[in-house]
Chain A
Amino acid sequence: MTDSSLPKAFPKSLPRRGVNVAPEALIRLLVLLAGVALLVVGLLFPLFAMLVKSVQDRSGDFIGLANFIRYFQTPALVNSIANSLSVALMATVSVVSLAFLCAYGITRTCMPGKRLFRMLAILPILAPSLLPAISLVYLFGNQGFLRDVLAGHSIYGPIGIVMGMSFWIFPHALMLLTTALTNSDARLYEAAEALGTPKWRTFLTITLPGVRYGLISCLFVVFTLAITDFGVPKIIGGQFSVLATDVYRQVVGQQNFQMGAVVSVILLLPAVLSFIVDRWIQRRQVAQLSARAVPWQPTPSPLRDWTFALLCYAVAGIILLVIGTAVYASLIQFWPYNLSFTLQHYTFQGLGGGGWGAWFNSLKLAFSVALIGTLVIFFNAWLIEKSEGYRPLRQGLHFMAMLPMAVPGMVLGLAYIFFFNQAGNPLNWLYGTMAILVLNTLVHFYTVCHLTSVTALKQLDPEFEAVGASLKVPFWTTFSRVTLPVSLPAVLDISVYLFVNAMTTVSAVVFLYNSDTRLASVAVLHLDEAGYFASAAAMAVLIFLTSLVVKLLHAALTHVLLNNAQRWRQAG
């Protein structure tokens, strides 16, 4: 404010239009097209190839629904539908009711040790679904130390499948229900109390209606996870076949790709159905939220609090028992004959399956998916949510981003074989590389990351981009200087979600690896098939520990970042 000559000269040198605008619009269009292309090639084309395959014979001629007719005339195959439905329903009922009680304990009581329980309850997510199955064999198998609990029933079959599924689906259900039960409005409870309403009636008229959408949504998510799961029935299913294992058996065992495609189409139906119901519910739920709600705070009530505490501790105890069993099994010589301690199962020497190489491959895959996937998915969500123009393209991209949730891993993996292994496909070179595993895993887990991104982006001021544009700043600068830093917690959540899933998934990638790209989760499967149970347990534990370490690093990193961000997040 002293030198008046400076500002006078200043504006003259300002270029009025700093940015060349045409390239910016062009770049925007190109990245949008790239996002669309990714999902068209990575999702739509393969699914289409699979549908085509299901109506062809072995020589590739169109034969209408003949494959389907043959399927329904083969009792061994049709039985799987009933099998799948029954175990999925049993798992759904047991998981959702247990998770509801635990979530209620966390949100609506003053039980002690909530934080510890929540941490322990997340553990199953970090392990491949093969791990509980292996543990259950050790616990309840022919030489299991809890065998007598089953009173003569075999663990190999529906009982084992339901137990194994319940174990690894439980955290998903718990998270959904905890979120649903957290959204409470204290004013309603106060009104009920003021009117002298008994507790049970308050529960039926306020609590349950309040969580009904979350509960229904949870039921469908759990059902989908259960019916499409491959790992648990593969290990512990015995002669009890379900749809997911049928796909594997048809393709890998009998090389009958057409029938594999038919089973896939049938497996796709319940998943698509529950996807549609879930979307419909999500849309209804929006109107229910009230911005003025006052969160409800529980008051201590010893009997209730300790009842829920004991229940939750029991659940946590079972989780620790299952994981502990796998760890124990991997550390002893030969169950149950030689119980001396050894690390030899972690050497994986002389066994098929890849050993440490497979673990390194999994690590490579998980880091690649976490890095590439996070950037691609978040940026695509940003394009959909925060940019103007190309409306049909953006809506199409959003629709495709929602689809992967409805596509079971087995189906996606098989679809990739059909599409990328086709003679004459210019992308054929991808087949058998690490790149196809990255693409497949990224697409497989796309939807949850997309929804997380959209939620985070919706919380930002809608005018950031407009301000950037008015200041002639290119959109990528505003994206990297403002949008990305502000959304960092969500971005980190996405990356760790992708990492853990890439580490633990087995269903889609089981069709896509080759000898150079064996993965740890697939190795668990093969070691188990070959009868090396202790080594299979060791590999599963290795995966679990890797995920755990990354998860802890993520927690630490988030903590540090949020602490740094405190400066601007809660300044003043």
Chain B
Amino acid sequence: MQTTMTSLLTADSPTVMTQTTPHLCIEAVTKCFGSFTALDNISLTIKEGEFVCFLGPSGCGKTTLLRTIAGLARQTSGTLNQRGNDISTLPPQARDFGIVFQSYALFPNLTVFNNVAYGLRNRRVDRARINARVAELLALVNLSGSEQKYPAALSGGQQQRVALARALATEPGLLLLDEPLSALDARVRGHLRSQIKALQARLGVTTIMVTHDQEEALTMADRIVVMNHGVIEQVGTPAEIYHQPASAFVASFIGTMNFLDVAVHSAEQVTLAAVRLTCLPHCLPVGGAARLAVRPEAVALTRQVGGLAGEVTDIEFLGAFQRVTLQLAGANQTLLADVPSRDSTTLGLHMGQTLGIHLPAEAARLYPAGSNTL
């Protein structure tokens, strides 16, 4: 197995190595379907060897963007550049990519072998090499010995891996994955997630995956592109996306987030329920309204009541921690706080209890009032 990896690695050698050279440059791409704008002036650079996830709710344009990159949909305006070649007007056949669809689109009347060899046949490569290559790919996805089976005889996870092997067979410079895991059940999904990620890291092939599953994106991607309504909301590493969401939409779409209506008091302070709170420097107009976003796990609860306080109205048991709903004193707003099981004993957590609330400045982010969440 080790030899396989190395050989494949060397095989693809130009694609690996330099993480900084751009593989794909998307420049001001817009796609309209009639009067509906599916992609609105998208610009994005994807580096060589990178694993990028397009993440967003359904209808946000992520699949359209993927299909535009593949040439399956033609952009209304804008350009695409792959490794320095302008591919904006090329048909899919002339572009360099492999693709795995949500449905896998395995050819039902062909065996696993013929599915994987489908793209090789056409290149007039001799039979022995095709056999070797298919065997190598099937070993790579742990399906050696299934050559003569038909897709219908395979489980969903196995079909998915055949589709992956077929897409990789022709050594594409770019691998496109269109919600590759969404048709599988949860257990298989978790397993395949790490397999695909490991395979990608090993081969170093530049990969773009479309998903609506934030967990998938957070665990697999080098960088995440969060999209909504045809525009990019934020591009960043999973940690950046989670901890420093650039917009209220990103903040609400990834993980759980409290949004509290506050009044801006100064460049570093806001007022919530008549209590003045410190926050990170911002440039929202003083005296206006704003929304303070803070994750439940960042909220600290104390038994000393002074400053911000709230009454416990609901306690939800979630195993490792408990999710507490608090009604803020002096304001008609609720707040969620995650309390680790150990701390809940110290607090003596119970319904109707009034607790002190501390919102750490470095964990809270401020967004303009009225900004859209999910």
Contacts and interface: CB of A to CB of B under 8 A. Distances in A.
Most buried by B among A3, A388, A464, A471: A471
B108 A569 contact: yes
A473 to B, nearest CB: 5
Contacts of B71: 469
A10 B134 CA distance: 12
Contact of A11 (B103, B107, B171): B171
Interface in A4-53: 4, 6-8, 10-11, 13-19, 21, 24-25
Given A6-B132, A14-B123, A466-B101, A19 B109 contact: no
Contacts of B12: 11
A13 B125 CA distance: 8
A21 B94 CA distance: 6
A11 B153 contact: no
Interface stretch (B1-9, B205-213, B365-373): B1-9
B166 A467 contact: yes
A466 B72 contact: yes
A304 interface: no
B153 A571 contact: yes
B111 to A, nearest CB: 8
Interface stretch (A349-357, A401-409, A478-486, A512-520): A478-486
A294 interface: no
B350 interface: no
B177 to A, nearest CB: 12
Interface stretch (B144-152, B241-249, B315-323): B144-152
A239 interface: no
B80 to A, nearest CB: 15
Interface string B135-161: 110010000000001111110000000
Interface stretch (B85-93, B185-193, B272-280, B354-362): B85-93
B122 A1 contact: no
A388 B68 CA distance: 13
A467 B101 contact: yes
A8 B108 CA distance: 31
A15 B125 CA distance: 10
Contacts of A570: 152
Nearest to B111: A568
B3 A1 contact: yes
Contacts of B92: 466, 469-470
B254 interface: no
B286 interface: no
B250 to A, nearest CB: 30
Nearest to B170: A471
Nearest to A477: B122
Contact of B122 (A4, A11, A18, A388): A18
Contact of A467 (B105, B124, B172): B105
A557 B154 CA distance: 28
B169 interface: yes
B215 to A, nearest CB: 25
A424 to B, nearest CB: 42
A559 B107 CA distance: 22
A565 interface: yes
Given A4-B3, A474-B122, A10 B133 contact: yes
Interface of A: 1-4, 6-8, 10-11, 13-19, 21, 24-25, 388, 461-464, 466-474, 477, 481-482, 485-486, 565, 567-572
5 A-B pairs closest in CB distance: A471-B119, A572-B153, A463-B105, A469-B92, A571-B153
21 contacts: A2-B3, A4-B7, A7-B8, A7-B132, A8-B7, A10-B11, A13-B125, A18-B122, A463-B101, A466-B99, A469-B93, A470-B176, A471-B169, A471-B170, A481-B107, A482-B107, A482-B109, A482-B110, A486-B107, A568-B151, A570-B152
Interface of B: 1, 3-4, 6-8, 10-12, 70-72, 90-94, 96-99, 101, 103, 105, 107-110, 118-119, 121-125, 129, 132-133, 135-136, 139, 149-154, 166-167, 169-172, 176
Given A467-B101, A481-B110, 15 more contacts: A7-B133, A8-B7, A10-B129, A14-B170, A16-B96, A21-B90, A21-B91, A388-B72, A463-B101, A470-B119, A471-B119, A471-B122, A471-B170, A477-B122, A572-B150
